[in-house]
Structure 1
Amino acid sequence: MQKFDNLDDYIADLKKKQEASPTCSNTRYNLGVAYLAKRDFMEAEREFLAAIDESPKMAEAYVQLGGIAMQRGDLDGCLRYNISATQQRPFFAVPWGNIGYVYMQQGEVDKAIKALKRAVKYDPNFIQALSTLGSAYYNEGEIDDCMEVCEKALKLEENFGPAWNNLALCYVEKKDYKKAVECVDKAIKTGFEVSADFLKELEQYR
């Protein structure tokens, strides 16, 4: 694979390839990813849309467009694009994880759990989906289920702050404050920003 000194050289090379083969959806997709790396969201969006135009079944491009919509705070757009991705590739875990995340943001916890369960079923090592599923279970008062999925996430990546934070919340529910403090300290150690109110609540148990 050719090495490039910077993103601009890579983009210039991709543009040459695109001129030589205008209907190649992969080149368009790669251009979109390169523009994303430059945080040029408008150009990235244009390339991903062009990639879908050439290859309507390219689920990855829908996922990227969903990410751009999320960047703009357009949750509905993000949801639509990710649903389109699952219609093209039903067993692709990433869009199911994103759908679950959006539903959580919209307060649709039941729908979130269904989508996240599918994400984890299709990719049992999908840490972000496991952690979001843990949050969804916690919101529903399913404490044991929350702990189970968060522990799975931590077996995959022991420095995953959101899972430690979720576990801390669960231990408070179980009135095991010593464990809660241990978990919250581990969350902080990973760089995760724990809620100030939660830290204040745990201060008395230190």
Structure 2
Amino acid sequence: MKANLDGALVHYNKAIEMDPTNPVYLNNRAAVYLSKNMTDDAEADVVRAIKMETSKPIDEQDDKALGRSYSRLGTICHQKGNFSGAIHWFKHSIVEYTFDDTAIKLRAAEKALKQQEQLAYVDPVKSAEAKAKGNAMFREGDYSDALKMYTEAIKRNPNDPKAWNNRAACYQKLYELKFGVADAKKAVELDPKYVKAYSRLGQMYYGLKDIPKAADAFQKMLDLEPGNQDAQRGLQMCQAARSGGASGEGQERP
């Protein structure tokens, strides 16, 4: 593979020497540089190719070639970790000429930028501060504002299972049980031994009348803490609901 790339590089170098005003050769050499992870050299070639093409009268410009150059510049930016730059150039490419792969690359760059911004926002200390404020609000019965604080805590530290479980508690108090279930499930995903999260999960499934899933959550509590009275009571409630004919899978809270 390396030999093929080196051979292609020799070929394009000669082509550019013979015809230095042809942007196609520059673009092709840039592709080789990019494959060799020589992003600075690739960027220099693409920028030169773009300048050559845009210096022509508008009616003589090759939209397809220009679109490919912008797309390649976007790929270079993405490879360098400059996702906002990648988005900028992919959008330019789509304006000039729509390639099937450019839209896919644009979505990938947007996703990468979002992840980058989320990581940059992470701060466990500020997460703990937001969670403490949420706890105080929760104790005062201010569940809506507590939910906002727990959401901030999650953004600042998305790997904290307690923040997820605390927000689930807010959703439970606000009767938004499906949202609460999602948060409690995230909490136990992060900490499979988090008994309190299984307890909340069981309560909310029970509130949704999804008795089998409620029983599973309470049983998980009991597996983790044999003799846990809350788990035993939860299982008894589920058994009573089943005996009364309330299978209730997937039913909404009235």
TM normalised by structure 1 equals: 0.55
How big is the shift at 1:57?
5.0
C-alpha contact (below 8 Å) 2:202/2:215 kept by paired residues: yes
Alignment match, 2:241: 173
How big is the shift at 1:72?
1.4
C-alpha contact (below 8 Å) 2:218/2:234 kept by paired residues: yes
Question: Amino acid of the residue matched to residue 175 of structure 1?
Answer: S
Alignment match, 1:28: none
Question: Amino acid of the residue matched to residue 116 of structure 1?
Answer: A
Alignment match, 1:124: 192
Alignment match, 2:201: 133
Q: Matches of 1:73 and 1:143 in 2, distance apart?
A: 28
How big is the shift at 1:149?
1.1
Alignment match, 1:75: 143
C-alpha contact (below 8 Å) 2:199/2:217 kept by paired residues: yes
- Structure 2 residue 161 is matched with structure 1 residue 93: yes
Alignment match, 2:180: 112
- Residue number among 130, 150, 173 corresponding to 1:62 in the alignment: 130
**What are the ranges of 5 or more consecutive residues in structure 1 without an aligned counterpart?**
1-54, 177-206
How big is the shift at 1:86?
0.5
- Residue number among 212, 231, 240 corresponding to 1:144 in the alignment: 212
How big is the shift at 1:162?
2.5
Q: Matches of 1:76 and 1:144 in 2, distance apart?
A: 30
Q: Matches of 2:220 and 2:213 in 1, distance apart?
A: 11
- Structure 2 residue 242 is matched with structure 1 residue 161: no
Q: Matches of 1:125 and 1:60 in 2, distance apart?
A: 21
1:66-124, Cα deviation, whole Å (9 max, x unpaired)? 11111211111211111001101112110110111110111111111111111111111
Q: Matches of 1:103 and 1:59 in 2, distance apart?
A: 19
How big is the shift at 1:160?
2.9
Q: Matches of 2:158 and 2:204 in 1, distance apart?
A: 22
Q: Matches of 1:126 and 1:173 in 2, distance apart?
A: 26
Partner of 1:167: helix, strand, or coil?
Answer: helix
Question: Amino acid of the residue matched to residue 135 of structure 2?
Answer: G
Q: Matches of 1:56 and 1:140 in 2, distance apart?
A: 33
Q: Matches of 1:73 and 1:127 in 2, distance apart?
A: 24
Q: Matches of 1:80 and 1:161 in 2, distance apart?
A: 32
Partner of 1:58: helix, strand, or coil?
Answer: helix
How big is the shift at 1:166?
1.4
Correspondence 1:4-15 to 2 at 5 A: none
C-alpha spacing 1:120/1:175, structure 2 compared with 1 (3 Å): same
Partner of 2:150: helix, strand, or coil?
Answer: helix
Give the greater-gyration-radius structure (CA). Answer: 2
Q: Matches of 1:162 and 1:101 in 2, distance apart?
A: 16
User: Identity percentage over the alignment?
Assistant: 25
How big is the shift at 1:139?
1.5
TM normalised by structure 2 equals: 0.45
